[in-house]
Amino acid sequence: MYNIILKKKRNIELSTEEIYKVIEGYTRGDIPDYQMSALLMAICFNGMSERETFDLTMAMAYSGDMLKLERIHNITADKHSTGGVGDKTSLIVAPIAAANGVSMAKMSGKGLGHTGGTIDKLDSIPGFRTELSEEEFIDCVNSCGMAIISQSGELAPADKKMYALRDVTATVDSIPLIASSIMSKKLAAGAKIIVLDVKCGSGAFMKNFEDAKKLAETMIEIGKRGDRKTYALISDMDQPLGDYVGNRLEVYEAVKILHGEGTEDLMDACLDLSAMILIGAGKAGDIESGRTIAKKTIESGEALRVFKNFIAAQGGDNTFADNPEILIKPTNKIEVKAGKTGYITSIDTEKIGLASMYLGGGRQKKEDVIDPDVGLVVHRKKGSFVNAGETLVTLFSKPLSNTEQALECISEAYKISPEMPSEDEASKKHTLAYLGVEDPGVDR
C-alpha cells in the first residue's frame, strides 16, 4: 500500500491489479483508513486516467453483489440523478418507460442534507415496501414493468465504506471518485441502459456547467467500457424542479404530471429523460421523437396505469393516484411574502432545500426521522415580476419543525431587483445539454 500511495502521489498510473488489490483489501478491513485516506487525497490532487477510473469502478462494483437481471423479460434500464431540490422525475419517467416496453429495474437511495431521496418519497405512501428480496424485485418488474427499491447494503459495499471516509477527509470533490461511486452502483445493479441526470447550479453538487459536463462525460465513458448504453443530460438546478418540495408533496406533484397537469419545467425534464431511455431501447430515433412518444404515453393514461400497478405491486395503497389531493395532509401553513417590488433575478436553490430539511422533510444526520407531510410550495420562479407583499413560498410545517431557520433560508434564497433579467437568463431551459445521443437539432 505504501508503494501504491507513493506512485499516485508522483502521478504515476496504477495498474489494474493494484487498484483491485486496494479495493479488496480495504473492503475486507486489511488496509487501514489512514492509508486509504492518503491514496484518496493523492487521487484528488492528481486525478485518474480513463482506464484507472474504469478499473476503480469495476473493482467497487465487484466488491459485493452483482444483480443478475436475465429473468426480466424486456430490455432493462436505470436512471440516476446527481441530486437536487424538487427532483421527483423517477416517479414519472419509470412509468413512461415501462408503458413502452422498457423494464425499469431501479435501486434508489435516501436523501441527506438539502437533496431529496426517491426512497423517502415512496416511504411516504401508506403500505409501500421499498425493501424487497431479489426474487420479489424481479417478479415486480416482470408483472408491471417497473420496481424501485432501496439500495442493498451488499451492493458495492466498497463504495459505502469509501464514501464515509471521503466525507470526513475532504476528498468528495474529485470527478473520478464521484463518477466511480455512482457508476459502481449502476453497473452492479445490472441494467443495460443507464440514463444520467447531471445537475448543475446553486442547488447541485456541480456548481458550473463545465464541471457537470466533465462528470457526465466521465460516467458515459465508464458505462461504455462496461458494455452499457449510457446517456446523460445536464440540467439546471439554479431553481427547484417543479413547484413542490417535500416527500408526500412531491409524490402529489408527480401524480399531477402523470395526469397531464403540472409545471412546464418538470414536464420537460421528464420528457427528455424518457426520450433518452427510449432511444437506448430502440423505441425512438432522436430526442424529439422520444419526447413525442413519452407525451402520448401520459395523454393516453398508460403511464398512470403503470404507476398504479407499481404502487399496488409493492404493497402500497394506490387510491391517491386517482385523487392526489388526499396526499396533502393538514399542516400549519406559513406564507413568505416578497419584501419589495421587482424581478426575481436568482434563487439559491440549496437554501430552499435546507428550508425543507429544517421543517423536517430531510435529514441533517443519517439517523434523523423524516416527517412525510412537511415541505414547501414555490409560487414564484426566476424571471417573475412580483409586487411587495405577494407570496413567494408557502411552508407546510408541524409543531416540531424548525420554522425559524426555514424562514431565514427562504428570505436569503430570493434576490429581487428592479431591473428585468436578460432574455437569455429569463428563458433558460431546464435541460442544458444532451450527451451520448445523436440529435442535430440540439444546441450544445
Q: Which three cell numbers mark 44? A: 484528488
Cβ distance 70 to 164 under 8 Å? no
pLDDT of residue 153: 67
For the chain, the average pLDDT equals 92
Instruction: Name the strands in the sheet holding 414-417, side by side, starting at the edge strand that comes first in the sequence.
Output: 385-386, 342-347, 414-417
| Domain ranges for the chain | 2-47, 76-323+430-435, 328-426
Residue 93: helix, strand or coil by DSSP? helix
Tens of pLDDT, residues 262-279: 899 999 999 999 999 999
Is 185 annotated in the active site?
yes
264 Rama class: left (phi>0) / alpha (psi -120 to 50) / beta: alpha
Q: What is the mean pLDDT of the segment spanning 23-52?
A: 97
Task: Say if strands 76-81 and 103-108 run parallel, antiparallel, or are unpaired.
Answer: parallel
- pLDDT confidence bin for 442, thresholds 50/70/90: very low
3-state secondary structure of 392: strand
55, 87, 159, 265: the active-site residue: 159
Q: Note the pLDDT of residue 114.
A: 72
pLDDT of residue 404: 95
pLDDT value at position 423?
Answer: 64
Q: Which three cell numbers stand for residue 391?
A: 407570496
Task: Classify 328-426 by CATH class.
Answer: alpha beta
Give the CATH architecture of domain 2-47: Up-down Bundle (1.20)
CA distance 201 to 196: 16
- Determine what percent of the chain is predicted with pLDDT higher than 90: 81
Cell numbers 462528470 correspond to 215
For the domain with range 76-323+430-435, which CATH number is right: 3.40.50.620, 3.40.50.920, 3.40.1030.10, 3.30.70.1400? Answer: 3.40.1030.10
- The x, y and z cell numbers of residue 160, run together, are 459505502
Please tell me which residue in 79, 106, 121, 185 is annotated as part of the active site.
Answer: 185
Q: Is 166 a known active-site residue?
A: yes
Q: Which three cell numbers stand for residue 88?
A: 421527483
113-153 pLDDT per residue, tens: 677 789 999 999 999 999 999 899 999 999 999 999 987 76
pLDDT confidence tier of residue 424, bands split at 50, 70 and 90: low
Q: What is the pLDDT of residues 321-344, one digit of tens each?
A: 999 999 998 889 999 999 999 999
Question: Is the distance from CB of 76 to CB of 103 less than 8 angstroms?
Answer: yes
pLDDT digits (tens, 9 = 90+) for 152-199: 768 899 998 998 899 889 998 899 999 999 999 999 999 999 999 999
80 is catalytic: yes
Under DSSP, the state recorded for 327 is G
DSSP-derived letter for residue 151 is P
Read off the pLDDT of residues 370-413 as tens digits, 9 standing for 90 and up: 899 999 999 999 999 999 999 999 999 999 889 999 999 999 99
* pLDDT at residue 68, as a whole number: 87
3-state SS assignment for residue 210:
helix
90 labelled catalytic: no
- CA-based nearest residue to 236, from 215, 214, 266: 266
- Choose, from 121, 166, 213, 382, the residue flagged as catalytic: 166
Closest CA to 195 of 182, 205, 207, 180: 182
Active-site residue (options: 81, 180, 181, 274) = 181
pLDDT tens digits, 102-114? 999 998 887 766 7
